[in-house]
Chains A and B, each alone.
Chain A
Amino acid sequence: MSLGGYLLKRVFYSIPLMLGAITIIFALIHAAPGEPTDYIIGDASVSQEFIDRLRAEMGLDRPLWVQLGKYVLEVMSGNFGFSYVRNTPVIALILDRLPATLLLMVTQYVVSVALGIYLGVISARRPNSLLDRGITVFSLAAFAIPLFWLGQMLILTVAYQLDWFPIQGMVNIRQGYTGFAHVLDVAHHLFLPALTLALPNIALILRLTRSSMIEVIGQEYIKVARAKGLSERSVLFKHALRNALIPVVTVVSLNLPTLIAGAVLTETVFAWPGLGRLTFDAIHARDYPLLMGMFIFISLVVILGNLIADLLYALLDPRIRYQ
């Protein structure tokens, strides 16, 4: 099968997934106590006639499947709902907060991929050595530590006690830096949340790299590379790593939901003004339309992420296309 055909098949598969996510949220909206009209009416005393007119206007008097169809079309055209608490369309709120979350995520990815692969390779070089065991202990701890608690402890120690890093937020509002000073200020604020979010991912990537490197190192072509007299560095990082990375790429892209969960918690601890903090604020303001809109948005992003993972996998490992 050609790469294009393979991709088309995967895109086709993801359509029912998207519809499924939208249907779940639609079902939740209707199962939730109260009616969507309640958000608009609030505590105001209004006549039944007004409520009926509002219901007709919002299409709530139509059969459920018509409402679902309309809802799907709305979402597909980029309308993720309306936050009555903030009096703003959900999509505008999401786009407003997205850059901060993206900055956190991308930094996290760079850090965890670089460190995870490096630690995995040096760990695989001599399995069961002292270094390998130390790295294993580290990864077990990193898997078990609750992200938000790790964040809290980092704030308490290096930010609050030692005063090396700012405690919360993304910029120093009092100073109002501009230009390069602003970039440095953001980086200073970014360090701890990115480290917190990266830690479990470093552990995941290093475990995967380690086990897949150990497997690859045992194969014939590595012996050949060594026999040719290549340096150990070149054998490990060029010849072995290339093939060892294939499973790593897939798992890392499939791990997006876990990463989003981590971002919600990390942003909450560090008051990082991204989607995670928006989630936390929406929970406390009981802003359900915002929560639901964000759920749909995040579901779509995750499904898209899986598509990208499929594409990368097919590019890296041509065998997969013929299965």
Chain B
Amino acid sequence: MRSSTPASAISSVPAVPEPAAPARRPRFGLWRRFRRNRAALFGLAVTTAFVIVGVFAPLLAPYGQLDMAASFQPPGREHVFGTDSLGTDVFSNVIYGTRVSLLVGLFSVLTSTAIGITIGAAAGFFSGRVDTLLMRLTEMFQVLPQFFLAIVIVAIFGASVWSIILIIGVLNWPATARLLRAEFLALREREFVEAARALGMSNFDLIVREILPNALPPIIVNATLQVSGAILLEASLSFLGLGDPNAMSWGIMLHNAQDFFNRAWWMAAFPGFALFLTTLGVNLMGDGLNDALNPKTQSR
């Protein structure tokens, strides 16, 4: 296994700013470098399986979400992961739970990345007063205890998968904004930007066409690592009883398992392991992507 860079070790933990990466990396041979990393390949395989299971959940699950059998059956031939307190099949529920995690991981990170790119690009490109103002705002969002804020908002306004996605997205953008700002500060002084500016390109085109494409690699790595954070956050909220009551999710299953420790270990063991495996897979894929994009900072 290849050791990951310090930057990637930090970035799987929220609230830690990433150091500015050197601008412009060679991107050819990305897959060649990624392929050499066995841990990253494992991560890619897990992530792919996760997406496939999420998309085809109704075809893969042996039982429907409303099929009830005898409750608390231990894992066996009919119910591989056993049944829960209501008598529904734990294996099928784990499969259905994939969908919520997939939706949350994908859309909350799309939201946070979009906000982060807008704010980070504006701050890095215009600098001066705009930069100061936006960075103060970013700092404020980063200092706030986000998990607790999410708890308060979901508790007050009610939980649905989409409201949770929106809240996680709105809380998670600061890291992206800071990262992109650092990239922009480094890139905007470079010759190709000067040249484009001299040719009379508008600010908007400079940002979107010239600088942004070159600043994307670290943003992509960051977004990948944020996916696992978002999945964990949704599961944590659901575990506390703040999940969407109309959707089966791994966090909700773990919440329900909490009352039946002494009767049914399988109610907690399987959904939690699915959550663990997914997070691990996405993280390893993100670390591998980071190493492949920054060949210089790979293991020493």
Contacts and interface: CB of A to CB of B under 8 A. Distances in A.
B211 interface: no
B276 A24 contact: no
A286 interface: yes
Contact of B10 (A145, A148, A251, A269): A251
Contact of B268 (A16, A25, A32, A149): A149
A264 B240 contact: yes
Nearest to A306: B143
Contact of B283 (A143, A279, A283, A303): A143
B236 interface: yes
A211 B9 CA distance: 9
B15 A258 contact: yes
Contact of B3 (A136, A144, A251, A260): A136
B155 A291 contact: yes
A214 B14 contact: no
B261 A152 contact: yes
Interface in B33-61: 39
Given A144-B279, A207-B10, A156 B269 contact: yes
Nearest to B145: A257
Interface centre among A148, A298, A306 (most CB of B within 10 A): A148
Contacts of B140: 16-17, 20-21
A265 B240 contact: yes
Contacts of B280: 140-141, 144
A88 B233 CA distance: 31
Contacts of A208: 6, 9-10
A268 B240 contact: yes
Contacts of B273: 149
Given A148-B236, A251-B10, A261-B236, A17 B272 contact: no
A300 B23 CA distance: 37
A280 B147 contact: no
A137 interface: yes
B148 A283 contact: no
Contacts of B275: 146, 149
Contacts of A269: 258
A291 B144 contact: no
A292 B149 CA distance: 9
Of the candidates B145, B257, B268, B275, the one having the most CB atoms from chain A within 10 angstroms of its own CB is: B145
Contact of A127 (B3, B149, B156, B239): B3
Given A17-B143, A143-B12, A144-B276, A260 B239 contact: no
Size category, A interface: 35 or more
Contacts of B242: 283
A156 B258 CA distance: 11
B9 A207 contact: yes
A302 B14 CA distance: 14
Contact of B147 (A132, A255, A264): A264
B68 interface: no
A144 B232 CA distance: 9
A128 interface: yes
A221 B287 CA distance: 32
Contacts of A128: 3, 299
Given A17-B139, A212-B6, A258-B15, A149 B146 contact: no
A286 B261 contact: no
Contacts of B3: 127-128, 132-133, 136
Given A136-B3, A208-B6, A258 B148 contact: no
A148 B145 contact: no
Contact of B239 (A265, A279, A284, A286): A265
B107 interface: no
A243 interface: no
Nearest to A149: B272
Interface string A271-290: 00000000110011010100
A143 B13 contact: yes
B144 A144 contact: no
Most chain B beta-carbon contacts within 10 A, residue among A17, A139, A140, A156: A140
Contacts of A20: 140, 144
B208 interface: no
Given A21-B144, A144-B280, A255 B13 contact: yes
A254 interface: yes
B156 A283 contact: no
A139 B279 CA distance: 13
Given A149-B273, A257-B144, 14 more contacts: A16-B136, A33-B157, A128-B3, A144-B276, A146-B239, A149-B268, A152-B268, A160-B262, A255-B13, A257-B14, A257-B146, A283-B241, A288-B156, A291-B151
Interface of A: 16-17, 20-21, 24-25, 28, 32-33, 127-128, 132-133, 136-137, 139-141, 143-149, 152-153, 155-156, 160, 167, 200, 204, 207-208, 211-212, 214, 251, 254-255, 257-258, 260-261, 264-265, 268-269, 279-280, 283-284, 286, 288, 291-292, 294-295, 298-299, 302-303, 306
The 7 A-B residue pairs with the shortest CB-CB distance in the complex, in nearest-first order? A149-B272, A261-B147, A211-B6, A207-B9, A144-B280, A144-B279, A257-B145
22 contacts: A17-B143, A143-B279, A143-B283, A144-B276, A145-B279, A146-B275, A148-B239, A149-B273, A149-B276, A152-B268, A207-B9, A254-B16, A258-B13, A268-B258, A269-B258, A279-B240, A283-B240, A283-B242, A288-B156, A291-B156, A295-B145, A303-B143
